[in-house]
Amino acid sequence: MSSYAADFIKQKYEELDQSSDENYTTITIRLAPKDVLMLKVIAKGLSFPVSTAFTKILSMHAYDMVMGLHDDDFRDFLKKHYRYDELDSYWLKEMVSNEMLDRPKFPGFDLPGMDKP
Amino acid sequence: MEDFEKINQKRKALANGESLGNQALDYFYSKRDRVGKSDQGKNKSLSINVRVSKHDLEVFDFLAEILKEPRASIIAKLLSHDVKAMFNALDMAERTYLAELVDAELTKQNFKHEFRDGTWFWDVAEINQDAYNPVNHKTWDIIRENFKK
């Protein structure tokens, strides 16, 4: 299978995953009218749904924001969220693939030297 | 906590300080620490539904707690910048026509424009926008005075 085809299937998996109620939820966000109206015309013109337009983008923003946290806040974040059941999260996948963190090996696996709250 | 220090050093080496997420974080940190923190008054708004990963929502909940800012407000700030970024990524013709289209819709729905009956228009009318900037008024002020004579 070519890498293009493999990427296509990977993308379909992601889309399928996004439609699953188990891993995703829909929230309502209020924006300035200028932004909502512009978003709607861009979405209509380029034929993409508004509701899932930001799903991946927000994952990347969340990762960037965690990466920019003040040190104490980052330590608190890891204490609370570095868990086996977060393995599907974008931020943890990125940090593991960047070799910043080890992959949590099993439920209850903590980073050495990190005290749980 | 030696391991945390090692992780934290790697994080600092990898973090993208130029990212929107990082800039938004700086904004909310400084807003949290400011006295009398309110931004400009509340304006009218419209709602959209956004599909979000539950893992990401946990991150935004954490951010909301430490930044003392509603989760929706943090996400709205990011989305607002993203809409602008999407608009700026369009080609010139699309930018111009969509700006006109949306400005007309804002007028039709009785929303207040940002400046002189235009909102998005000013993002595509760079020359006109510069003309209204007081920094560029040195000669215009002299000419305008001459008109009065």
Would you call B21 an interface residue with chain A, using a CB distance cutoff of 8 Å?
yes
pLDDT band at B35 (very low <50, low <70, confident <90, very high): low
For residue A94, pLDDT beyond 60:
yes
Query: What is the average pLDDT score of chain B?
Result: 86
- Collapsing DSSP to helix, strand or coil, B52 comes out as strand
For residue B24, pLDDT beyond 80:
yes
Contact B49 A27 (CB under 8 A): yes
Confidence (pLDDT) at A11: 84
For residue A104, pLDDT beyond 90:
no
* DSSP bridge partners of B50: A27
Of chain B, the percentage scoring pLDDT greater than 70 comes to: 90
Would you call A61 an interface residue with chain B, using a CB distance cutoff of 8 Å?
yes
Find the mean pLDDT for residues B95-109: 92
Contact (Cβ atoms closer than 8 angstroms) between residue A84 and residue A108: yes
Q: Chain B: residue nearest A86 by CA? A: B55
Structure token pair of residue B30: 């400084």
ipTM associated with this complex: 0.85
| B27-36, long-range: CB < 8 A, 24+ apart | B27/B77, B28/B63, B28/B67, B28/B69, B28/B74, B28/B77, B29/A70, B29/B67, B31/B67, B31/B69, B32/B67, B32/B68, B32/B69
What tens digit of pLDDT does each residue of A7-44 get? Answer: 888 888 877 777 777 889 999 999 999 999 999 999 99
DSSP letter string, B48-87: EEEEEEHHHHHHHHHHHHHHTS-HHHHHHHHHHHHHHHHH
For residue B88, pLDDT beyond 60:
yes
For residue A90, pLDDT beyond 90:
yes
Confidence (pLDDT) at A36: 96
pLDDT band at A115 (very low <50, low <70, confident <90, very high): low
Contact (Cβ atoms closer than 8 angstroms) between residue B63 and residue B27: no
A100: nearest CB among B10, B62, B120? B10
For residue B38, pLDDT beyond 70:
no
Q: What is the pTM of this model?
A: 0.80
CA A18/CA A98 separation, integer angstroms? 24
> Where is pLDDT greater, at B140 or B32?
B32
Find the mean pLDDT for residues B91-104: 90
Contact (Cβ atoms closer than 8 angstroms) between residue A109 and residue A100: no
Largest CA distance in chain A: 52
Would you call B53 an interface residue with chain A, using a CB distance cutoff of 8 Å?
yes
Q: Length of chain B in residues, anyone?
A: 149
B62: nearest CB among A70, A81, A114? A81
Q: β-strand B46-53 against A24-31: which pairing, if any?
A: antiparallel
Report the residue of A22, A26, A27 to disrupt the B interface, i.e. the one with the largest count of B CBs within 10 Å.
Answer: A27
Choose among B115, B112, B110, B21: nearest CA to B63: B21
pLDDT band at B128 (very low <50, low <70, confident <90, very high): low
Find the mean pLDDT for residues B74-92: 94
Side-chain-facing half-sphere of B5: CA atoms under 13 Å: 2
A52: nearest CB among B2, B51, B55? B51
pLDDT band at B36 (very low <50, low <70, confident <90, very high): low
CA distance B93 to chain A (A): 13
Confidence (pLDDT) at A117: 56
CA B59/CA B69 separation, integer angstroms? 13
The contacts of residue A36 (CB under 8 Å, 6+ apart) are B45, B46, B47, B48
Choose among A99, A86, A35, A58: nearest CA to B63: A58
Q: DSSP assignment, residue B123?
A: H
Would you call A87 an interface residue with chain B, using a CB distance cutoff of 8 Å?
no
- Collapsing DSSP to helix, strand or coil, B115 comes out as strand
> Where is pLDDT greater, at B43 or A100?
A100
